[in-house]
Structure 1
């Protein structure tokens, strides 16, 4: 662990937050991702890097049944996602305010409602680098599926397309300004999301940009945009489907043509080298998909991404 983070207390402590949650999307199994990552030794691996590691077990969430959680308009399981995200936000916030680095392992990417809002409660000037095949930027007005794992960024940006009656009343700021968000790895973006990206001038590097400039230049441009003076806290949110399915096959919404193993890890390494990382998400490992060898491969990649982001 060569660098130190300027925002973290000594001794350098990472709080591993296991979130076995799948309510933001319809496919079963993604709730088992955190359990597999921990069982494969992730906390011990981080300790070997020199971190003081806190892991108090996986979070258990309130059991809200489908009968108690009918859709609101098209949006599915809104009360369940809200309850879980609020709990995660408080947990992340508590660790951040104690000078620790929260590492949230999911679970589906709707959890970023909680992780990033928790980071912003401690670091209201934080910026976000979002690594994903998808923008997860749909609003209530633009979503076709109603699945909240495709919508968290729109709520974090407090976009008007989410209506006047808030789905998440606890989410009351600070919100993320569009100029402090940058995507890397996009290649499956809905029409409504493309319009939002354009209208709000959100910086996004698709796989075309990665091919054109190379990953080193892309991460430099991303950092130049969200953190030009290299002085703001950074939250890195990494969906493993940003990687090509040949690298991370066991994920719910794979899209061909993604980041290579090295490109994904280079992003993590480059963010760590800034000394500004204050929050990390590793999301959407689904061990129920693609068979035992694919699961083992994807879990191993999830662990190695976390290690790379934390100094390996």
Structure 2
């Protein structure tokens, strides 16, 4: 997706290199060793029309996510279980928003839980669930930290409003409810009164876009949102793209960073068990590199990993998808694939 300011961003990127260079050097020694991580499952599938995303958190746990993080990263991990989404109160309905009540109640409960986890001084990894869960995770993050930057890694922009959505599925709308400039286009409803926080468009960036609705493209262009499609990744390379995105939304590292990672941002061969795959996506290596760079950036407080659907595909497809998602999580909280440099652990045999 084209950006008129990309060449300026490239120039500006080098001006920030010394600042971020120290941050990267320092974080590789501190991030994993000092990381206190909370895991939260959000088994919501109301935001789309396929069965299965709600079983994502169980699939991650079955694959041993917590033990893998502890083993490879020596991280203090606490599993907070799943958000309780069984009780759904009836609220005012809204046109062209399927399962609106369930989605909004889940997001509200999620927001409170995220705030509680962050208030304990932990960083957080949420396991989806469909991508509408991000309304609650990002909002809870904004309640805990006033200045938040959002990196949305996805094949889709998810910035439709109810009047522009072709499907009425709410997993394609969370960004419009989170962004200050687009929320005003939503009707004022009692069900949304708890949404007290929003994020300015300048604090939002996309990576991996390749299936964007016409109205979403108009919104992105009108608001000047930083957006990198697959063609940009091919043109500039993934390292330059993620560096430009982070420099644009968090140039001085003063904002708390939220990354919302939809597994369909990856090439379907890498992650086949997802509901809305789009061919020609990021490679797993590129996805890992994005999260390693985020780790080096040193500001990550919340990571969402969403849209893993264990009911799609054969057993090996599900295993491949879950393992790819776990590699993304490991890169975010452990960092470089070479391992953590810690001389108190590493014993080099003498010859």
Q: Which has the larger radius of gyration?
A: 2
Aligned to 2:270: 247
* 1:245 CA drift (Å): 0.2
- Counterparts of 1:143 and 1:269, CA distance in 2: 34
1:106 equivalent in alignment to 2:128: yes
- Is the alpha carbon distance of 1:3 and 1:177 closer, same or farther for their aligned partners in structure 2, counting shifts above 3 Å? farther
1:145 equivalent in alignment to 2:167: yes
- Counterparts of 2:306 and 2:190, CA distance in 1: 25
| SS, match of residue 129 in structure 1 | strand
* Runs of at least 4 residues off by over 3 Å: 1-5, 68-71, 164-167
1:289 equivalent in alignment to 2:312: yes
Residues 151-179 of structure 1: per-residue CA shift (max 9 Å, x gap) = 00000014222123365221121x10100
Aligned to 2:66: 43
Aligned to 2:84: 60
1:235 equivalent in alignment to 2:258: yes
1:300 equivalent in alignment to 2:323: yes
Residues 21-45 of structure 1: per-residue CA shift (max 9 Å, x gap) = 1011110011111100111111111
1:1-312 aligned within 5 A: 2-4=28-30, 12-48=35-71, 49-64=73-88, 72-158=94-180, 159=182, 160-165=184-189, 167-173=191-197, 175-312=198-335
- Counterparts of 1:270 and 1:11, CA distance in 2: 18
Unaligned runs of 5+ in 2: 1-26, 336-351
Aligned length: 306
- Counterparts of 2:145 and 2:193, CA distance in 1: 20
Does the 8 Å CA contact 2:88/2:105 hold for their aligned counterparts? no
- Is the alpha carbon distance of 1:3 and 1:190 closer, same or farther for their aligned partners in structure 2, counting shifts above 3 Å? farther
Does the 8 Å CA contact 1:135/1:183 hold for their aligned counterparts? yes
* 1:124 CA drift (Å): 1.5
Unaligned runs of 5+ in 1: none
- Counterparts of 1:147 and 1:76, CA distance in 2: 6
- Counterparts of 1:102 and 1:92, CA distance in 2: 8
